[in-house]
Amino acid sequence: MRRRQPLPTLWLMTDTRFGDGLLDAIRRLPVRSGVIFRHYDMDPSERHVLFRKVAHVCRQRGHVLLLAGDARSASKWRADGFHQRSAGPRKLFHTAPVHNRRELAEARRAGVDAVLISPLFPTASHPDAPALGLMAFNLLARQAKGVAVIALGGMSRGKARMLHPKRIDGWAAIDAFRIIYED
């Protein structure tokens, strides 16, 4: 998948808070967006069933689908890539979560395509986690050198427009899509 499609600039992070609205939210994303499938708290077999449903919608819409987890599981589940700081095969898209310089260095050593630097702004997903703010975010983004930077944490379309386009390659969210696309 890596060589056939560029890395998306818009990413939806799945979360159990989507409930039954998850597939609809994914359908409403612009074509060729990215989806990072998380749902860590689910029973493994139920998680896999939901992943297959998400994968079906992603294929219909031309989305890139990453599995939050290791490369082996991503390959086995036929994801386009994986979201974790560990190394994996170059044929898969590879993103990693980054919250500080140490994690950024770890992600770069793992050969990631992109880092999701978070939380940029306060977020409902982790209400007690301190936000990086623009200064710390920009510092980490500058240190990413050669790795795509995706902004995450309290993001929305409006907040994404506030960010320097030379510092970020895209943005990701949970609630921005859950709220926008709720029925």
**In terms of DSSP bridges, do strands 10-13 and 34-37 run parallel, antiparallel, or are they unpaired?**
parallel
pLDDT in tens, 80-93: 999 999 887 778 99
Please provide the distance, in angstroms rounded to a whole number, between the alpha carbons at the two ends of the chain: 32
pLDDT at 126: 81
Rounded distance, CA 25 to CA 35, Å?
11
pLDDT at 149 over 90: yes
pLDDT at 90: 78
C-beta atoms surrounding 175 within 10 Å: 17
Answer whether 0.85 is exceeded by the pTM: yes
Domains of the chain by range and CATH?
A: 10-181 (3.20.20.70)
pLDDT at 162: 87
- Choice between 161 and 3, residue whose per-residue pLDDT is larger: 161
Is there a contact between 101 and 72 (Cβ–Cβ < 8 Å)? no
